[in-house]
């Protein structure tokens, strides 16, 4: 167990809010705290998000009314080390969304946008067991491909850009992460930025930025089992969207979440759960509200 050294990996960029006042389908996912001694892995993870949206009279309605959006994402993901310092990630999401507005219920599902990323380790002294403090710094980037299903209308024939499994745009990701660890305790800070492009419907989601700060503890329970609880803060910002090259009202926003979770490691397997609770949010000029987020993951290392 002494050879187990961790890399707190990059948070995928997060979309805060977009479309005609509704919750956001495109969301960010973190890689989590992964062991480095198992170079490669493949896994499944599930994420759940919920939003409440207020549709004001200024948008053409005769009175304010509300809708609720529920987003479920099941994702196949994995990591492969090409060299000692170069690692590749792939994310293949499947989306299921539900929107409730009065008596109207709309559901959509399908393949989401596939993301491919590469990270390069610039600093790593984990190999030196004589060091009390261990540092890892990684930087990289990637591309989000327009593979997701789009153009799905609701019962009224409206097509909400944000309520689609895919964005129909090719986007680019930049990220960096730094982790410091002493003994069983560790601290991580990271940042990620996504540059979005205009899709075929002449809609461009605003660029996304997020960052996090989390502490973690690695606690062996036996020779084959270990627990790893963690907690921290996550900040997310989304710039406003553009449609037909014009700024879109009621888009963009900021959120600050607390996060708490735990992973359990057993031989070549790991499983984990996480909850994120909003402590501050200002989304869609205040017309959108997000609730607690939940996620779970199971991985196999090889």
41-59 pLDDT tens trace = 999 999 999 999 887 765 4
Which tokens in the block code for residue 231?
Answer: 């907690």
CB atoms within 10 A of CB 15: 24
Asked whether the predicted pLDDT for residue 3 surpasses 50, the reply is: no
Confidence of residue 128 (pLDDT cuts 50, 70, 90): confident
Question: What is the pLDDT, as a whole number, of residue 8?
Answer: 34
Question: What is the pLDDT, as a whole number, of residue 220?
Answer: 94
Least trusted range by pLDDT, from 21-25, 86-90, 150-154:
21-25
Residue range 155-169: average pLDDT?
79
Q: Which domains does the chain have, with CATH numbers?
A: 41-301 (2.40.160.40)
Asked whether the predicted pLDDT for residue 4 surpasses 80, the reply is: no
Question: What is the pLDDT, as a whole number, of residue 102?
Answer: 84
Q: Which residues are 257's β-sheet partners?
A: 234, 278
Confidence of residue 273 (pLDDT cuts 50, 70, 90): very high
Question: What is the pLDDT, as a whole number, of residue 199?
Answer: 92
**SS in 3 state form for the chain?**
CCCCCEEECCECCCCCCECCCECCCCCCCECCEEECCCCCEEEEEEEEEEEEEEECHHHCCCCCEEEEEEEEEEEEEEEEECCCCEEEEEEEEEEEEEEEECCEEEEEEEECCCEEEEEEEEEECCCCCCCCCEEEEEEEEEEECCCCCCCCCCCCCCCCCCCCCCCCCCEEEEEEEEEEEECCEEEEEEEEEEECCCCCCCEECCCEEEEEEEEEECEECCCCEEEEEEEEEEEEEECCCEECCEECCCCCEEEEEEEEEEEEEECCEEEEEEEEEEEEEEEHHHCEEECCEEEEEEEEEC
What pLDDT, in 10s, does the model give residues 189-246?
999 999 999 998 899 999 999 999 999 999 999 999 999 999 999 999 999 999 999 9
Q: Of residues 260 and 106, which shows the higher confidence score?
A: 260
Task: Give φ, ψ of 258 to 5 degrees.
Answer: -90, 150
* Angle at CA of residue 13, ends 8 and 19, nearest 5°: 155
Which tokens in the block code for residue 259?
Answer: 């996060």
Which tokens in the block code for residue 139?
Answer: 């930087």
Question: What is the pLDDT, as a whole number, of residue 144?
Answer: 96
What b/e readout covers 156-187, taking b as 16+ CB neighbours within 10 angstroms? eeeebbbbbbbbbbebebbbbbbbebeeeebe
Confidence of residue 36 (pLDDT cuts 50, 70, 90): low
What pLDDT, in 10s, does the model give residues 56-114?
765 455 556 788 999 999 999 999 999 999 999 999 999 999 999 888 888 999 999 99
Asked whether the predicted pLDDT for residue 6 surpasses 90, the reply is: no
Least trusted range by pLDDT, from 18-22, 203-207, 267-271:
18-22
Rounded Cα distance between 82 and 77, Å, is 16
Q: Which of 46, 74, 35 is nearest to 266 (CA)?
A: 35
Question: What is the pLDDT, as a whole number, of residue 85?
Answer: 93
């Amino acid at each position: 167990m002494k050879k187990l050294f961790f890399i707190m990996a990059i948070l995928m960029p997060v979309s805060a809010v977009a479309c005609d006042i509704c919750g956001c389908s495109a969301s960010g996912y973190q890689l989590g705290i992964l062991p480095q001694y198992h170079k490669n892995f493949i896994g499944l993870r599930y994420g759940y998000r919920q939003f409440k949206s207020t549709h004001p009279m200024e948008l053409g309605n005769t009175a304010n009314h509300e809708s609720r959006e529920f987003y479920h994402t099941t994702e196949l993901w994995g990591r492969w080390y090409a060299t000692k310092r170069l690692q590749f990630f792939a994310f293949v999401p499947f989306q299921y969304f539900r929107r409730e507005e009065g008596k109207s219920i709309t559901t959509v599902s399908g393949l989401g946008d596939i993301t491919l990323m590469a990270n390069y380790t610039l600093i790593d002294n984990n190999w030196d067991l004589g060091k009390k403090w261990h540092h890892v710094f990684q930087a990289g980037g990637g591309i989000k491909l327009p593979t997701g299903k789009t153009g799905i209308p609701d019962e009224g024939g409206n097509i909400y850009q944000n309520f689609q499994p895919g964005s129909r745009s090719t986007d680019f990701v930049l990220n960096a992460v730094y982790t410091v660890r002493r003994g069983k305790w560790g601290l991580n800070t990271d940042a990620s930025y996504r540059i979005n492009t205009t899709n075929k419907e002449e809609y461009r989601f605003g660029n996304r930025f997020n960052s996090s700060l989390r502490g973690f503890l690695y606690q062996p329970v036996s020779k084959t089992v270990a627990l790893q609880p963690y907690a921290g803060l996550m900040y997310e910002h989304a710039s406003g969207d553009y449609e037909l090259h014009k700024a879109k009202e009621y888009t963009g926003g900021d959120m600050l979440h607390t996060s708490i979770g735990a992973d359990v490691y057993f031989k070549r397997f790991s499983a984990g759960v996480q909850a994120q609770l909003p402590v501050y949010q200002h989304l869609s000029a205040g017309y959108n509200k997000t609730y607690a987020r939940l996620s779970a993951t199971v991985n196999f290392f090889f």
